[in-house]
Amino acid sequence: MTTRRSVLLGLPLALAAMPAEAAIAGMAYTSNEKDNTLSVIDLARMKTVKTVPTGQRPRGMALTSDGGRLLVCQGDSNRVDIFDTKTWKVIGSIDTPDPEYAALRQPGNNPLYVSNENNALVTVWNIDTQKMLVQMPTGVEPEGMAVSPDGKLIVNTTETTNMAQFFSYGTGKNLANVLVPPRPRWAAFTHDGREVWVSSELGGTVTVIDTKTFKILDTIHFAVEGLRSTFIQPVGINITHDDKLAFVALGPANRVAVVNVPERKVLSYVSTGKSMFNAKVKKYLLVGQRPWHMAFTPDEKYLLTANGLSNDVSVIHVANLRVVNTVPVGQQPWMVLVSPH
Amino acid sequence: MTTLEPFPEGPSVSGRRAVLGAFAAVAGTSLVRPVAAAPAPTLTIGYVHWLHSVETISLIFRPKPDNGRAGAEVGVADNNTTGRFLDQNFALASVEVRTNEDPVAALNTLIAKGIRLVITDRPAADVFKLAEAGAPHGVTIFNAGAGEDSLREADCRNNVIHTAPSDNMLTDALAQYLIWKRWPRWFLVYGEHPRDLRLAAAYRRSAKIFGAHIVADRQYKGKAGSRETDSGLIELQKQLPVFTQNAPNYDVLVAADENSVFAAYLPYRTWDARPVAGSAGLIPTSWDPNSTEFGGKQMQDRFIAYAHRFMTALDMNAWVAARMIGTAASYAHSLAPGKIMAFMRGPQFQLGAYRGLSLSIRTWNGQVRQAILLSDSGRTVVSMSPQPGFLHQRTVLDTLGTDKPQTRCKISMASKG
């Protein structure tokens, strides 16, 4: 190891940017909204190794806990296809109108919650039989979906009518509808299940909601020096398993904000792309534009962002809060997921 | 709603009412709104609809009788999709007024029904009359159709909200793109109608602000066309090159033709090989049926499913008015027009309307600030303004139209909040 390290020290800095210990195993997948494909990234090689054709407008995805099946919402084809991640063959299909996003209940890989954006519905499916179990009416344009860690509570965000809507898993009952700032896009539970964090794309905020009382605990605002607030549009939220850090993708601000979860304070902004403005930021590495959704590697050493406007994936080193790599993928990547192995 | 299989670990839900009616009695703050089982109170929004036929050069752009009103209807339906969870119901009461009929009489029938929030697509003079007539009754008029800057400036009234972009906003939006494109030399062509003259003035103003040069300025007199005759096309193909010849060197022809009399005949018929913009060619507009960005695909799908036709800019302006009312009602937790308007005019109000940045009200003249699409004559969306690089201390949306320091509107629209 000593010899190897000394060799590395002799290399130019650019080549040493990915230290040997940082080699990541496993695969990542992006759904590419514009060219109707999935990109399969080999994380060890940091390279797109396969492009899988899909139906029209793939966006939301869910992965079974063993990583064996990838469920892909194809809004303009009105179906969710189930891909075998070894053969990349479609092994099942759920016909449902305009699916945008899907969340899989864990443990058990069932059922699947789908937001049907055009129909103001959340539909619930058994992925083994591909039969619908129930449907729940929502506000206009349901989008973000999340299931609580204990699987008992479901939250959906209605993009056009500004609500975080809570449903009970067991009965499908509508428990509460919490008004949040405009265009809520995404919801994420803390791993202790006590809070749900909801991003508002146009409001430029993240609302923290108590999952027992459904009261708003806090509203997190973002400000980047030199950047008009209208360009700060939070979408994806990923929270570390220890509930210490939350990463919030800020869309056209081309940055990912790092938030201290217990204190709900913004620590830093990781830049993922070239901004139109001369912005002062703590971390500033030019990579991709308009990050929307993100995924951790299983060890949470890295966070991947899908950059919709630059057609690539940024790889953030979580401990260093630095962007360490960029991987080109298909057109307009919407979501990214990482295999558990 | 169908239930095909038992819901795992719990009773199945077999009907919409069961889902809507059943809710847990959760501890409620003012922000928590469980679904109510009782019939919800209703707010009726008025619509004074101008029923008239419009001649257009292109048949496919001839407006349908429900132009505008259908947008408000979809907006009200969207309000109700949310309202069912918030114990709020919305309805639309539309009165159709033909060109020579009195819009104030129509407004009075709405006022008599207790309606205080009224959308209209009538022309500018009628918007002014409606505002004056409605003011003593506490009526707010939402102007979805008239672009005249005078309505926002010298003739502004504090009970009018303009969801239609002003002429200045549209001409600024096009000017920014032409400057970004490095096409600063304009050949300005305008018609004889007073609206054409005002629009031409708006282009001259935009050129000055954004650094374009109007190298030639020409009025088109007489009605182009003879399109109904068999030889009409041949006539046009002779007339328009002659009209546009001997112009100094220019980059783009900018046409101001509000009544669609001649501008659509300009592309491909100019003397010089130059692109056309303005009332034909590259058109600045608040909506285009091809706009799918920023979630716009969902709006288009929802509108087509309802109206069985494409969504026009007027439909969008009316949809925005209905959704502004619904959005303010949900945040204000009230269907009272006074509370709705107070929230709408407050600093927290924002509406997502499928154009990236959210819409809000300019306190100085009641204009709704909004991004403007640049449409290739309704075929594709070419761009959206504000363009990159045009900056503003408040919001880049205020680079379009009359800004606060320039306004001549003396009535402060500001409200509490």
Cα distance from B64 to chain A (closest Cα, Å)? 24
Q: Is the pLDDT of residue A330 over 60?
A: yes
Is position A320 within any domain?
yes
% pLDDT > 70, chain B? 86
Q: Least CA distance to B77: which residue of chain A?
A: A140
Is position A125 within any domain?
no
CATH number for the domain whose boundaries are B42-165+290-367? 3.40.50.2300
What pLDDT shows up at residue A226? Answer: 74
Is position A284 within any domain?
yes
**Contacts with A174 from chain B: Cβ below 8 Å:** 19-20, 22-23, 34-35, 85
Q: What is the mean pLDDT of residues B11-37?
A: 35
Is position A262 within any domain?
yes
Is position A309 within any domain?
yes
Position with higher pLDDT, A235 vs B14: A235
Q: Is the pLDDT of residue B15 over 80?
A: no
Q: Is the pLDDT of residue B121 over 60?
A: yes
**Contacts with A207 from chain B: Cβ below 8 Å:** none
Over residues A121-170, the pLDDT tens digits come to: 999 999 999 999 988 999 999 999 999 999 999 999 999 889 999 999 87
State the count of interchain CB pairs (< 8 A) between A and B.
160
What pLDDT shows up at residue A260? Answer: 87
What pLDDT shows up at residue B236? Answer: 82
Question: Which B-chain residues 77-96 have CB contacts (< 8 A) with chain A?
Answer: 78, 81-82, 84-86
Phi-psi region of B16 (alpha: psi -120 to 50; beta: other; left: phi over 0): alpha
Q: What is the mean pLDDT of residues B156-168?
A: 97
Q: Is the pLDDT of residue B122 over 80?
A: yes
Q: Do B350 and A174 touch (CB under 8 A)?
A: no
Mutate to test the interface with B, among A202, A216, A332 (most CBs of B within 10 A): A202
Position with higher pLDDT, B239 vs B280: B280
Over residues A28-62, the pLDDT tens digits come to: 999 999 999 999 999 999 999 999 999 999 999 99
Q: What is the mean pLDDT of residues B398-402?
A: 96
Nearest to A175 among B11, B24, B305 (CB): B24
Architecture of domain B168-285: 3-Layer(aba) Sandwich (3.40)
3-state secondary structure chain B: CCCCCCCCCCCCCCCHHHHHHCCCCCCCCCCECCCCCCCCCEEEEEEEEEECCCCCCCHHHCCCCCCCHHHHHHHHHHHHHHHHHHCCEEEEEEEEEECCCCHHHHHHHHHHCCCCEEEECCCHHHHHHHHHHHHHHCCEEEECCCCCHHHCCCCCCCCEEECCCCHHHHHHHHHHHHHHCCCCEEEEEECCCHHHHHHHHHHHHHHHHHCCEEEEEEECCCCCCCCCCCCHHHHHHHHHHHHHCCCCCCCEEEEECCCCCCHHHCCCCCCCCCCEEECCCEEEECCCCCCCHHHHHHHHHHHHHHHCCCCCHHHHHHHHHHHHHHHHHHHHCCCCHHHHHHHHCCCCCCECCCCCCCEEECCCCCEEECCEEEEECCCCEEEEECCCCCCCCCCHHHHCCCCHHHCCCCCCCCCCC
How many structural domains does chain A have? 1
Q: Is the pLDDT of residue B257 over 50?
A: yes
Mean pLDDT, all residues of chain B? 88
Over residues B338-394, the pLDDT tens digits come to: 999 999 999 999 999 999 999 999 999 999 999 999 999 989 999 999 999 998 988
Give the least confident one: A102-111, A189-198, B199-208: A102-111
Q: Is the pLDDT of residue B38 over 50?
A: yes
Is position A171 within any domain?
no
Q: Is the pLDDT of residue A227 over 80?
A: no
Over residues B45-97, the pLDDT tens digits come to: 999 999 988 888 888 889 999 999 999 999 999 999 989 999 999 999 999 99
Q: What is the pTM of this model?
A: 0.86
**Contacts with A129 from chain B: Cβ below 8 Å:** 5
Decide if B42-165+290-367 and B168-285 have a common fold: yes
pLDDT interval class at B223 (50, 70, 90): low
CATH number at residue A278: 2.130.10.10
Q: Is the pLDDT of residue A4 over 70?
A: no
Q: What is the mean pLDDT of residues A198-216?
A: 95
What pLDDT shows up at residue B53? Answer: 83
pLDDT interval class at A73 (50, 70, 90): very high
pLDDT interval class at B230 (50, 70, 90): low
Q: Do A230 and B357 touch (CB under 8 A)?
A: yes
Position with higher pLDDT, A299 vs A25: A299
Q: Do B27 and A215 touch (CB under 8 A)?
A: yes
pLDDT interval class at B23 (50, 70, 90): very low
What pLDDT shows up at residue B24? Answer: 29
What pLDDT shows up at residue B261? Answer: 87
pLDDT interval class at B225 (50, 70, 90): low
Over residues A285-321, the pLDDT tens digits come to: 444 799 999 999 999 999 999 999 999 999 999 888 8
% pLDDT > 70, chain A? 88
Nearest to B86 among A111, A177, A252 (CB): A177
**Contacts with A274 from chain B: Cβ below 8 Å:** none
* B62 vs B52: CA distance, rounded Å: 11
Q: What is the mean pLDDT of residues A92-104?
A: 94
Position with higher pLDDT, B32 vs B165: B165
Q: Do B350 and A182 touch (CB under 8 A)?
A: yes
Q: Do A176 and B34 touch (CB under 8 A)?
A: yes
What pLDDT shows up at residue A243? Answer: 94
**Contacts with A275 from chain B: Cβ below 8 Å:** none
Q: Is the pLDDT of residue B5 over 60?
A: no
**Contacts with B388 from chain A: Cβ below 8 Å:** 276
Is position A268 within any domain?
yes
pLDDT interval class at A8 (50, 70, 90): very low
What pLDDT shows up at residue B33? Answer: 42
Can you give the residue ranges of every domain in chain B? Answer: 42-165+290-367, 168-285
What pLDDT shows up at residue A171? Answer: 81
Q: Is the pLDDT of residue B413 over 60?
A: no
pLDDT interval class at A229 (50, 70, 90): confident
pLDDT interval class at A111 (50, 70, 90): very high
Q: What is the mean pLDDT of residues A247-251?
A: 92
Mean pLDDT, all residues of chain A? 87
Is position A203 within any domain?
no
Q: What is the mean pLDDT of residues A78-84?
A: 97
